[in-house]
Structure 1
Amino acid sequence: MNQNIQELIQSQAKKAKSAMRVLSRSSADVRNQALLAMAESLQNSKDKIQAANRIDLDNGEKTGVPAPLMQRLLIDDQKIERMVDNLRQVAALPDPIGSIISMGERPNGLKIGTVRVPIGVVAVVYESRPDVTVEVSALCIKSGNGVILRGGSEAIYSNATLARILSDTAAAEGVRDAIQFVDTTDRQAVYELIRLPDYVDLVIPRGSNAFVQRLMRESDVPVLGHADGICHIYVDKAADLEMANNICMNAKVGYKVAVCNALETLLVHADTAEKFLPAFCERLQDSDVEIRGCQRTQQLYSPAKPATEEDWRTEYLDYILSIRVVNDIETAIDHIETYGSHHSDAIITESYSTAQRFLKEVDSAAVYVNASTVFTDGYEFGLGAEVGISTQKLHSRGPMGLEGLTTYKYIVYGDGQVRE
């Protein structure tokens, strides 16, 4: 065990806890001004950010980081503008802290209500997406939480630069030490974080299934996150096939391939398969997507490779799609429940009753009718940004925005009541 890392993490956690106590009592104006100043600092530091990002990109090329992950790692002008927009959007959102959730009066005259409060200190462990540094910092500052950021080794220079700019700017605006960045790639840092329940209130991991599951097993701190993004689209017998074609292409390759809300398994009704699959598979092949299909899929499109049981359980995050032809909606829903990760699943259909059944019976964080699964995102859901997408049912589900970073406490007003 590295004693220096242990001491570093404990020191950062203590600073975040102290900062959170001050931040949680601050006014919305103070927090919003910090966010707006952070946005301006990012905009004015574009060259510095992109120089750091270039180091990460060069290292990624040398170590053979896959192309889809390199795409996530890149910070171009457009991504910086989106980071800036995210900060400003979060600043413009209503203040979640102190809002009254409920209030009622008991027969004895006690007025009992619930009020929204920060969770405390949130530790976020994430992968090769430097923009997460900005999104998470924005949401935590706005919601009155301290945050400890531990990004992936492949983005260490980008993340460190972004975090330093954000933290220094926030401090200049009176929000000191609320953003802590773990500037080491040693995994011991993560396991120190999850053993500090006196200082860290919630851990949100974003990474591989094996990594997230291990944290859930070993953490002394509550862990909230998703382990996999095995997303499905079911093309029903009553589907508009042109719509289905466009939506499925968008969900697989139209946005980004290596994202947790991308399409990984396509289910097609048997009555639709012959009309839909050959042309759709040609489009996939034109986009360099490898197709792994059931026996019927292979009959309809001979270049398809045989799909194995493991394919149905795999989040590829790559140019690979598994396809299965099913006889009815029951089989489609059963497949999703058996192999899915309860993240995002969609149906393409013109039948209202079939759509309603799918919405009711598919137990996922986001369920769609006639739309692409890649909309499962805090930005697209109007949350300003997100700290992650939870596939758990407690205490937050789906894209976690400001409300997901809060809890509540009871407030009780009396006028002398005593319990008999």
Structure 2
Amino acid sequence: MNIVFLTIVLIVLGAQVTFAGFADDRKVCEYQVLPRLQTNRLLESATAPGDQYCLAIFNWIGPLAQKNYPVSAQWLQKASNQNHPAAQAMLGFFFQMGHGVTQNYAEAMKWYRKAADQGNLDAMTAIGKLYEQGNGVGKDVNEAVKWYRMAADRGDPTARNNLQALAQPRSVQAVSPGEHYFQEGKRLYLANDYAAAAKPFFKAAEMGHVLAQLQIGSQYEFGEGLPKNYGEAVKWYAKAADQGNAVSQKNLGQMYEDGTGVTENWLEAAKWYRKSADQNYDKGQNALGRAYQFGIGVPQSRREAIEWYKRAAAQGNSQADYFAKHLSYQGTSIGFRNEAEHAQVIAGKLRFSLELLDEPVGVTFRNSSERLAYLTKLRGRVDQNEAKTMWNIKKKEYDDCLRAKRSPCFDPGPTP
């Protein structure tokens, strides 16, 4: 799969921007890209920008390494030089924070701008924050508002929140419960002391601070300063999701779809994807489009999938744009959710049956077992169709051989 279109999830920790989790990218990289790179022995010599971007992730949060910033930065540089927008945004962040490179706000701005020029919303928001704070550039609230609005108009929830905060006089801005704990957690997190950061984040989260709840969920999911615990991640994502946080709603939906930390439940996954999408969050819209593409908790519908993908694409989500276009072409297959589904049907063979174009139109799958049962039947039809096609070819060769009185002639046997 071409993953040039991958994007990064950014979470604002108070006045700074940090990467706190990008489940979509990581899962595509780990389950689809990593096996191919390992099979083809490309872990040290990948040239495709999407592969290089994945290698940066692998060396940042695993599975190849944990926080190997220098190696991660090297792969980001290679991918960024090939105009991979998500890599450029992440490289900007590395320069901003001094991860694996010498801290350099000018370089951070350069790479954020390159990513923003390609429609990356996270980069637009990051540029706005640099202008708001005056980091590496002259402090310019008007310029910050311009960049926030650019991202907010395309559906970025962080940019919208930043705009709302700037619209209020500092003296009357509402302070969330636990904000001072959250700010302390932010300071420690940005100093890369994730374990220490978790303590004030916990205090803020327990006081109902929605971003702290999201942050704690992320740190549990990825094992940042806390023991990796998917059940706890679900718990804290759910708390933030119940408060209406669109990012947590999307993340919670993903946990229900994957059965990670919670019993797999695709109806519940689709419910949370829709809540996130209805808030105009592009990654929630992308997730809902994918749900309609494969029937994940909703009646399978190519038309609905395209519609939601288009909404996300209109906000600069390049992954959604790719699939909106792919599904709009006549004669294209909807494909498979992951490598396991692909292996179930394709089974390492060169397939040619038109049965592969069939779609479970209107079918709602409640879990992966139900979809696997459907795919097992699909593979049976594909096997049967291809067996008949090959038998017909061999039967024709046999009949032609008999008519020409050649020898030997090979009887294809009974009809499959």
On whether the aligned pair clears a TM of 0.5, the verdict is no
More helix by share: 2
With normalisation by structure 1, the TM-score equals 0.27
Higher percent of residues as strand: 1
| Greater relative contact order structure (CA < 8 Å, 6+ sep) | 1
Larger radius of gyration: 2
